[in-house]
Structure 1
Amino acid sequence: MKKKKVMLALSVAMAAMFTFAACGSTDKTPTTPNTPTTPVAEKKVLRVQFDVEVASMDPQIATDGTSFEVISAITEGLYSIDAAGSPILAMAESVDKSADGKTYTFKLRNAKWSDGTAVTAKDFVFSWRRLVDPKVASEYAFIMEIAGVKNAVAATTGDKPVTDLGVTAKDDKTLVVELDVPVPYFESLMAFPSFLPVNEAFFTKAGDNYGTSPATLLSNGPFKITAYEPAATTITLEKNADYWDAGKVALDGIQYQVIKDSQQAMLSYQNGDLDVATLSGEQVEQFQADPEFKNIVAGYLWYISPNQTVKGLENVNLRKALALSYDKEAIVKNILKDGSIVANFAVPTLLATGPDGKDYRETADTYLSTDKAKALEFWNTAKKELGVTELKYTMIVEDTESAINVAQFIQSEIQTTLPGITIELQTMPKKNRVERMQQGDFELGLTRWGPDYADPMTYLDMWTTGSPNNYGFWSNKDYDEIIESAKKGELALDLKARWEALKDAEAIVMDAAVILPVYQKGDAVMVKAGVKGIEFHSVGINRIYKNASK
């Protein structure tokens, strides 16, 4: 490690010499009054690696963590999240809650969009109505119901106009939100990107191009975007001087770089081209003793979704055979090596604390643990029930290094453990993989879900009948009834009974092998020694940079 650090120091020094030679008096190129005299390297720009592209910069359309991270860097909602993960007032300067917990009245602070116009309550009304508008068909429309906002379901289904949604601009600085039932995590959820404001006049002017370039994006957050296009490999932000709390923002900007290959990412980090990079596999062992190494428990659950409309996958014994056939311990210990843990559940650990003060997983059962002998028994039973001796399926996988490595291992394990089953892999960018799964155009899909808020419902709501995230098209009446009651029925009013009912719901999903869990993600990250204040979160926005410095 010492040798590497010396080499790195030399390379940085040489790079610095080159920079100053190019910008100093030895450069014989004539200067003009517009020529910058301050080297770009001196600016406090944080350079961050992504392993997937940003899919959308539209807060009501985006569905993935990468997009959410960038959107939240340039846009701020009623609340933000502090370093401990607790909600703190942001665009809202104050809030008044009714005694029954069903009405919130927010007073907005004096804040501006990056075009100089004021942020108003109407911006929230517009974006929230747009989120539930059937014509927009946002995949996150369901989250308005999760938040308990009055008439959310009826507006989403078109049974009532979006103007009946329980959100009102009393005046430019007063926003009133009405709920159907008290929601304990409502304020935390208000920091989530789907609830971020959008300026209607600007949106209308941008039209179909909204969110596709710096010219079609507005900021009211710590940073504003200066370079972006769909599927871009580099995205550049700069500090937003008009942000209401700009005095606390120490960075001059952020540059995101999409680098999918972990070796290339680490080379860029060592060369000084990145300040934050994610490690995988063998790299973790190589760098875990480095003082710049950080291991962070993330909330992402990785699992295989079997499409139950595909012949054979409707059979529960086949799904259980697949779920038990691969060695999860080997995946986290020998392939990922990044702090990920085995997932024998549908609701991750360190997500939410119950009325008993304990983490959900502490008192919930585990399911579908690796058992190759049992897997073969289920396969033999499935063969008889289906009248087959062989089956062949294609599993779609996003084209990141870690996802491909995990998929190849699972492929080998299934084919070895369950003779007669053949698994083919098809890799593609994450956006395409998600689109295929949403359209039902797949057989097996290696996918992931990150928690939007600190409650088991952020996972369990996915497998209700008709949910856009219910990729396998599974349906169970008893399950739907539990989830519905826990959201706004009798269970919603009894926190202890609700908590136990959610455990029952998880058991139903797991016993039916609706998903085949693989692992809960850990993040092995390198962060340069001079970088401080990045807030890492396992729920909602993965990384927040407002208080970061370099």
Structure 2
Amino acid sequence: MKRLVALTMALLIIITGCSSGGKKTSGDNVAAVQEYRTAYSGEITTLNYLVTATTNEFAMAANLVDTLIDYDRYGVVQPGLATEWSLSDDNLVWTFKLREGVKWLTHDGEEYAEVTAQDFVDAMKYILNPANESKTANIAYSVIKNAEEYYNGEITDFEQVGVKALDKYTLEYTLKNPTPYFLSMLTYVCFFPVNGQFLEEAGDRFGTDNINFLYNGAYIMETFEPQNRRVLVANENYWDKENIHITKLTYIYNKEAGTLAPELFLRKEIDYADIPSDILDEWMNDPEKETQIRPNRTSFYSYFYCLNFDPQFPEEYEPGNWKIVVNNKNFRKSLFHALDRKAAMLTAEPYDPEKRISNTVTPKNFVDLEGVDYTQLGSLTELSNNDSFNEKLALEYKENALAELEGKATFPVKVLMPYNTGSSEWANRAQVVEQQMENLLGTDYIDIIIDPKPPTGFLQEVRRSGNYAFLECNWGPDYADPETYTDPFSPDGTYNWPHLAEGYKESNGKNTYENMVNGAKAEVVDIEKRYNLFAEAEAFLIGEAFIIPYAVGGGGYSASRLNPFESLYSPFGVSAERFKGQKVMEKPMNSEEFTEALEKWEKERAEALKKATK
């Protein structure tokens, strides 16, 4: 992934885990028993990694199924199921040699088959079948030759698609265009393998539970009891078992996990807890608790507020009226400049809110162009360097909107804003945003209606169903290129509403933003031109107030018995979700220890990256 594209990356980790019984170890601050427990409130809806695009679900799959390549704890690409790979002179054909002797196992540890090149072909064929409704098919067919044509039914012979098993242990991908970031895509779920015979036998049952599933990764799911518990045990036949130290991972369901986790951590019932901002002062000022809390690194997850151009919410919230106003640029700009992101961020980061606030969709330090950060290119520069919150502009746009919408829309506009009750910080933030924006723009103009929704099924019930007007959303990168942050806004992406905005259709029938993105995608040789085109497209997306950039992920504080600097490191794909290489600590890391470890890790990483690029 990083062999081809030089970029600066930050830690992307969602830690989960356990503590009692299991593998014994020795060493400084290493628990004698390597088991790890965590509490969760949002249940996964599928184990079928070939269809999901949800972090909560592919994070689980990351520990059950391996990928062609992986990353070490410094972000240097490493062999995984592939031991070596090469790229043709025309930059179109990638060839991977697979590790021999890796086994697919059933849930009870019985050998089912050997992992072969055909498993990657079978997985791609499943993903490219529209009937299977894979939410990552667009990522795969954006790069593989004839994949999009097969997906759309323009060709019916899968042999024409650019994925082949040349022999039992040789896999070949042929790309539609040179793709400098292709290697960095290979730890995402659409490039996972699956055993075709098992997939056919399981049919619609594949991924519905731990039994209708095969394992070739570090862990096997021993127990799967939705809304009760999940238990993962170390795979004794794993090809890299010496780097698996935690022997059992136990996930305990509790619908109030977000609130109760800190107390459960103090009682040593779980080994990880986010410390929400409303109790942060209490922990910081308590001598005993303060020794158990540390900062979290920020991540490359991007958070932004979505304005829905295809409202599908109940009539009581007046979706027809919302559709009229959201298609008025002045109305959108009034909301854009009215959102005080610092006030919102104080609900999550009361000590240093600025470190998480982001003015762009693509975070700073993700990729650079000969030392110039992507966010400092072209028209994106001004947006990146200036806070969008501006009371004077917000009120000016309000007056313009009222004048343009007179007789067309009803005021105050009902603005349905759901939030996930699994996060106390999100609940607090929803109230802050409601009060702050209504106080500035006036309740004669907008009526923000906050709507609590349960964590299980939140994405399906709210975002994917269009059951919102204004919503805090997020997106994590899938590969090392600015294009990854445009994926959710494409017509077939996760947030497919920008192309529905009225007044932006061009002569080819497509939206202006879509045409700009397609122009950037088409430039695969001149990276400078490519990045500048993507920067202009992003500046347009933000400048037209289709979305309101808000923050980057991570940050905050946690109590954890995992050392974050032992984790595999990558801002895209699934590597950072793996427990591989990690050990349970006897005592949690405190803030001082975290700072020292971070400085040490950054120096070591710089050396590792230098060595890797020689």
Question: What interval of TM-score do these two structures reach, taking the shorter chain for normalisation?
Answer: 0.7 to 0.9
Alignment of structure 1 residues 52-201 onto 2, 5 Å = 52-110=42-100, 111-115=102-106, 116=111, 117-146=113-142, 148-161=143-156, 163=158, 164-201=160-197
Alignment of structure 1 residues 415-430 onto 2, 5 Å = 415-419=438-442, 420=444, 421-430=446-455
Pairwise CA distance, 1:287: 4.3
1:311 equivalent among 314, 318, 324? 324
Pairwise CA distance, 1:529: 6.9
Pairwise CA distance, 1:43: 4.5
Pairwise CA distance, 1:258: 4.5
2:337 equivalent among 318, 324, 328? 324
Pairwise CA distance, 1:445: 2.3
TM-score by length of 1: 0.86
Q: Which has the higher mean CA deviation after the structures are superposed, 277-286 or 418-427?
A: 277-286
Partner of 2:610: none
Partner of 2:566: 533
Pairwise CA distance, 1:229: 4.3
Pairwise CA distance, 1:503: 0.8
Gap change, CA 1:207 and 1:392, over 3 Å in 2: same
Following the alignment from structure 1 to structure 2, what is the Cα–Cα distance between the partners of residues 545 and 392?
Answer: 45
2:390 equivalent among 363, 371, 374? 371
Partner of 2:528: 496
- The residue matched to 2:43 in structure 1 has which SS? coil
Gap change, CA 1:105 and 1:529, over 3 Å in 2: closer
Alignment of structure 1 residues 144-543 onto 2, 5 Å = 144-146=140-142, 148-161=143-156, 163=158, 164-230=160-226, 232-259=227-254, 260-287=256-283, 290=291, 292-309=293-310, 310-337=323-350, 341-350=356-365, 352-363=366-377, 364-365=380-381, 366=383, 369-387=388-406, 388-399=410-421, 400-419=423-442, 420=444, 421-430=446-455, 432-435=457-460, 436-471=462-497, 473-474=499-500, 476=504, 477-487=511-521, 489=522, 491-523=523-555, 524-528=557-561, 533-535=566-568, 537-541=570-574, 542-543=576-577
Alignment size in residue pairs? 508
Following the alignment from structure 2 to structure 1, what is the Cα–Cα distance between the partners of residues 83 and 337?
Answer: 51
**Letter of the 2:419 counterpart:** V
Deviations 1:195-239 (A, max 9, x none): 111112212222222112221121111111112245x35321100
Gap change, CA 1:290 and 1:227, over 3 Å in 2: same
Following the alignment from structure 2 to structure 1, what is the Cα–Cα distance between the partners of residues 296 and 567?
Answer: 14
Pairwise CA distance, 1:506: 0.7
Deviations 1:300-324 (A, max 9, x none): 2222211124231111111111122
Following the alignment from structure 2 to structure 1, what is the Cα–Cα distance between the partners of residues 50 and 467?
Answer: 24
Pairwise CA distance, 1:65: 1.3
Following the alignment from structure 1 to structure 2, what is the Cα–Cα distance between the partners of residues 128 and 258?
Answer: 33
Pairwise CA distance, 1:384: 1.5
* 2:259–2:424 Cα contact (<8 Å) kept: no
* 1:300–1:450 Cα contact (<8 Å) kept: yes
**Letter of the 1:403 counterpart:** W
Deviations 1:112-164 (A, max 9, x none): 11132101111111111211211112121111134x11112212222223613
Gap change, CA 1:434 and 1:262, over 3 Å in 2: closer
Gap change, CA 1:370 and 1:166, over 3 Å in 2: same
Unmatched runs of 5 consecutive residues or more in structure 1: 1-14, 20-40
Q: Which has the higher mean CA deviation after the structures are superposed, 311-320 or 435-444?
A: 435-444
Deviations 1:343-363 (A, max 9, x none): 22121223x222313432344
Following the alignment from structure 2 to structure 1, what is the Cα–Cα distance between the partners of residues 309 and 565?
Answer: 47
Partner of 1:25: none
TM-score by length of 2: 0.77
Following the alignment from structure 1 to structure 2, what is the Cα–Cα distance between the partners of residues 236 and 46?
Answer: 10
Partner of 2:594: none
Unmatched runs of 5 consecutive residues or more in structure 2: 1-18, 22-30, 285-289, 311-322, 505-510, 585-614
* 2:562–2:582 Cα contact (<8 Å) kept: no
Following the alignment from structure 2 to structure 1, what is the Cα–Cα distance between the partners of residues 375 and 43?
Answer: 32
Gap change, CA 1:151 and 1:479, over 3 Å in 2: same
The CA RMSD measured in Å over matched residues stands at 2.5
Following the alignment from structure 2 to structure 1, what is the Cα–Cα distance between the partners of residues 531 and 280?
Answer: 37
**Letter of the 1:395 counterpart:** M
Gap change, CA 1:532 and 1:520, over 3 Å in 2: closer
Partner of 1:24: none
- The residue matched to 2:324 in structure 1 has which SS? coil
